[in-house]
Structure 1
Amino acid sequence: MLDANLKAQLKAYLEKVTQPFEIVASLDNGAKSTELKTLLEEIASMSDKITLRTDGDDARTPSFSLNRIDGNISLRFAGIPMGHEFTSLVLALLQVGGHPSKLGQEVIEQISNLQGKMHFETYFSLSCQNCPDVVQALNLMAVLNPNISHVAIDGALFQDEVEERQVMSVPMVFLNGEMFAQGRMDVEEILAKVDTGSVEREAAKMNEKDPFEVLVIGGGPAGAAASIYSARKGIRTGVAAERFGGQVLDTMSIENFISVKETEGPKLVRAMEEHVRDYDIDVMNLQTASRLIPAAEEGGLHTVEFESGASLKAKTVIISTGARWREMNVPGEQEYRTRGVAYCPHCDGPLYKGKDVAVIGGGNSGVEAAIDLAGLVKHVTLLEFADTLRADEVLQRKLKSLPNVTVIKSAMTTEVIGDGSKVTGLIYQDRTTEESHTINLDGIFVQIGLLPNTEWLKDTVALSKHGEIEIDARCATNIPGIFAAGDVTTVPYKQIVIAMGEGSKASLSAFDHLIRS
């Protein structure tokens, strides 16, 4: 089940286990149960503190729980946690075995003090790069608080549940049987939803902070680079981000980040955050900016207000709020979002195995999505608004070689249709003949580019007709002391490496502004 290299690494990790625990497997006669049993036997053989039992009676098979001998922990995997979830399994083994987490003491106490029974169920897919963050967060909460239980469920293995509960996008989390959340979340985000009052407490703390010399809004590649460059100058630096990492967290494969042959978005974000936290930088996560109030006079303090009710002041501000997936903005899209309308083919593709789907968009992202999905689903229909595809020629050749892909050009999607609970198809207009056509579908993957996160900046900094922040060669906006960097700006070519360079440049420009002021 595990190759020699993986076994050696896992055995080294399991040497950190300090408390005995048992793995209790619930199995049937199927091939997947046999596969899971082999994996669990290999794990148990690596540590004398781990005992394996195969007499579990959970209704979901194959599945297994991790139970501390002298504790009260309810943590279960339904399925075989390999792929992206193998790290979740390793962390769960360590944490149930007594190895401490890297969470701050304040967060650990917040989890431990949560009251009331909370039973979480998370549906994931093994190809989803966002799912492990949710699974690992809820597993850790179950380890730290006996009132919390968690089961992580591989949607591809439990299709009946997926259909019954209409799980059409992962990660999807249920709390005590009711829909709780969908999409990537970390511990702080989950706590903000279950711990009433935490948002207000954090806002009150932020309101008491002294003014920053450089305040970075946004925690993607541009924001991370800007904050590091500022901190290295020895000036008081803060970062307020809606979610640290931004769009990179949703990026599956990165192969053009110079000096790193291949990596994944979440892995790169973890490295960025570790680098940022190596410096004396005040990181404030889960903070969505709502208003910018420029200084009344040059040399004064700028103010940034947040949806949480907090506000921060700074001598200079670097805006790096990035961009988000562009939506089709047609009837039915919002109604069926996460119920057939999806934006991440890597995450949600396995849920549509054997079904008919559409991809909207003929650029690199759309064609790559269609190629990936073709290996999972029954049939892919790719719709492109223009009369030609915009993807690289090598991708187009690969797409044309696939027998279960249909490409429709000059197609304008006009409506998403469904039965009230899930997507059943879409309507598009042929832009050449102006005739309308209906396609019966189970899922729609939207891949039509990005939209800058600048709604909160209207009537302050100058924006282009596309909503991007207009900047000069030094990343300066039209307002002295306010700079911008990355995908949120007019800089061409939205790439991670370019965003990092622009963030560094914005920081150096802000420092230059400070010393000249």
Structure 2
Amino acid sequence: MLDANIKEQLKPTFSNLKSGVELVVFAGDDTKSKELLALAKDMAELSPLVSFSEGTDADERRPTLQVKAENADSSIRFSGVPMGHEFTSLILAVLHSGGHPMKVEPELIEQVRTIKGEFKFETFISLTCQNCPDVVQALNMMAVINPNISHVMIDGSVFPEEADSRKVMAVPTVFLNGEVFTQGRTSFAEIVNKIDSGASARQAESLNEKEPYEMLVVGGGPAGASAAIYSARKGIRTGIVTAKFGGQVLDTVGIENFISVKKTEGPKLVAHLEEHVKDYAVDVMRDQMASKIVAAEQVGGLISVELENGAVLKSRSIVLSTGARWREINVPGEKEYLGKGVAYCPHCDGPLFKGKRVAVVGGGNSGIEAAIDLAGLVGHVTVLEFGDTLRADAVLVRKAESLPNITIIKNAATTEITGDGDKVNAIHYTDRTNDESKTVELEGIFVQIGLIPNTEFLKDDIELSQHGEIIIDNRGATNVPGVFAAGDATTVPFKQIIIAMGAGSTAALGAFDYMIRSSAPAEEVSDAA
């Protein structure tokens, strides 16, 4: 199952084990079971602390691999064959079960250890989903830390009947004690805070006690990471407050235009960004959403950032790098069927629609790329484009038009998404050439119509463009003294990772220059100008 190269790479990795780990395989006679048996046997050969056995529990899904710690009462299972993006999840589960330290803040580990109650988590995934491993790995670690927490990863393509019966139409979908708990990327801290009812109040109290920053970055995507690094290198007190580190890049599959790196993937780039930020004395406050910016003159000399949990952070300067999110169609049925057939990530959720009929709304690069990718999985793809021409690159259009199971409809104004209450069954549109209403029967809809800036909370405090973007000058400055901005949330004309990074450094340098000049004697400022 594992080739010689991977085995050689894993041997030194498994040398980090401090105690025994048993791999128990519950197998049937199917091909996937044979693959899982081979995988477990190969892994058991790599370390004397890893053993292999076959389980006999008739109630277990087959194939399932259980990771059993010798020195802990933990429950981690992989139903399916955890390869692809989930192979790392399996390796980490073995390492953590065998006593290798976790890369998690000690405060979070203690928080998990002291949570009371019984929590049985199940996560439906697809092996092509880049968001799924973060969730799987977080829940696996929680299962190692607290014996009252168990976790099962379930590959929806291996257990399609169960996925259908439980109405799973997006990944990752997490069930807690049999009920839907979350959908989509969810961080370790977010999961913990959601099951720990007193977490928000404790965090707000802790955040309120923090000393003022000299530069506070709001948002942890490429622009925010760049701004924080440039700020910290100046030797000033720097903080980042962010809902999730990495932003949109976490959901980006292939990156081939990041200069000097020929090809990488979003999560890998985010991991490198995070490691770079950690090299400096940056106070990173995760899983926190800003709700308001209060200018310095209103609060006695320092800018205030109010958070949704009630905490208030203060700083001499601010860099806003709140990024953007998928734009919605805003038609009846879209929100009602989100996760029930309506999706925004074809790479994540595409495998759940194998052999089925789907639509892609949007004829730009992202829409046509999605259609091409989906064509290899699903039965048929219908592309609905509002305009009279496709906006995608010509090479992508030619490829899409060459595929027999892609139909492209132009001048199509989507009007409604309908379903049976549990899942999508059709998309309705108006033919803009003759105002005729038409319907496409299907099982899935992927929305790919661009991005919208995350700036709603700023509309009363910062000047925004008609599109909701933060208006900035060539130094990243906004209309509020001391408040700068960078990245996809701003009026920069092109939304690219490398441009966001450059804009983040520009905003940080602009903010630093602002602080130098605003703290200098009046005559010196005049001379410098």
Q: Give the TM-score category using the shorter length.
A: over 0.9
2:424 is matched with which residue? 423
Give the partner amino acid of 1:366.
Answer: G
Provide the C-alpha distance between the structure 2 equivalents of 1:465 and 1:299, rounded to a whole number of angstroms. 31
Q: CA deviation at 1:56?
A: 3.3
1:197-346 correspondence runs (5 A): 197-296=198-297, 300-346=301-347
CA contact (8 A) 2:72 2:97 kept: no
Pick closer, same or farther for the CA change 1:461–1:36 going to 2, 3 Å.
same
Q: Deviations over 1:434-460 (max 9, x none)?
A: 100011010000000000011001122
Provide the C-alpha distance between the structure 2 equivalents of 1:308 and 1:251, rounded to a whole number of angstroms. 29
2:442 is matched with which residue? 441
Pick closer, same or farther for the CA change 1:298–1:101 going to 2, 3 Å.
closer
CA contact (8 A) 2:72 2:144 kept: no
Provide the C-alpha distance between the structure 1 equivalents of 2:392 and 2:21, rounded to a whole number of angstroms. 52
1:2-401 correspondence runs (5 A): 2-57=2-57, 58-296=59-297, 300-401=301-402
- Give the paired residue count: 517
Q: Which moved more, 1:378-387 or 1:206-215?
A: 206-215
Sequence identity of aligned pairs in percent? 62
Pick closer, same or farther for the CA change 1:436–1:52 going to 2, 3 Å.
same
CA contact (8 A) 2:187 2:244 kept: no
Q: CA deviation at 1:107?
A: 1.3
Q: CA deviation at 1:97?
A: 1.3
Provide the C-alpha distance between the structure 1 equivalents of 2:102 and 2:285, rounded to a whole number of angstroms. 20
Provide the C-alpha distance between the structure 2 equivalents of 1:474 and 1:293, rounded to a whole number of angstroms. 21
Q: Deviations over 1:142-184 (max 9, x none)?
A: 0111101000000110001110000000000000101100111
Provide the C-alpha distance between the structure 2 equivalents of 1:281 and 1:49, rounded to a whole number of angstroms. 38
**TM-score calculated relative to the size of structure 2:** 0.96
> Could you say what secondary structure the match of 2:292 adopts?
strand
**TM-score calculated relative to the size of structure 1:** 0.99
> Could you say what secondary structure the match of 2:488 adopts?
helix
2:517 is matched with which residue? 516
Q: CA deviation at 1:297?
A: 6.5
Give the partner amino acid of 1:227.
Answer: A
Q: CA deviation at 1:71?
A: 2.6
Pick closer, same or farther for the CA change 1:42–1:479 going to 2, 3 Å.
same
Pick closer, same or farther for the CA change 1:455–1:297 going to 2, 3 Å.
closer
CA contact (8 A) 2:122 2:174 kept: yes
Q: CA deviation at 1:302?
A: 1.1
Provide the C-alpha distance between the structure 1 equivalents of 2:237 and 2:73, rounded to a whole number of angstroms. 44
Q: CA deviation at 1:299?
A: 8.7
Q: CA deviation at 1:55?
A: 2.9
Q: CA deviation at 1:298?
A: 11
CA contact (8 A) 1:24 1:56 kept: no
Q: CA deviation at 1:104?
A: 2.0
Provide the C-alpha distance between the structure 2 equivalents of 1:498 and 1:299, rounded to a whole number of angstroms. 35
2:413 is matched with which residue? 412
Give the partner amino acid of 1:185.
Answer: T
Q: Deviations over 1:11-52 (max 9, x none)?
A: 221111121121111111111111111111111111111211
Q: CA deviation at 1:59?
A: 2.8
In angstroms, what is the RMSD of aligned CA positions?
Answer: 1.1
CA contact (8 A) 2:70 2:98 kept: no
Provide the C-alpha distance between the structure 1 equivalents of 2:293 and 2:32, rounded to a whole number of angstroms. 54
> Could you say what secondary structure the match of 2:190 adopts?
helix
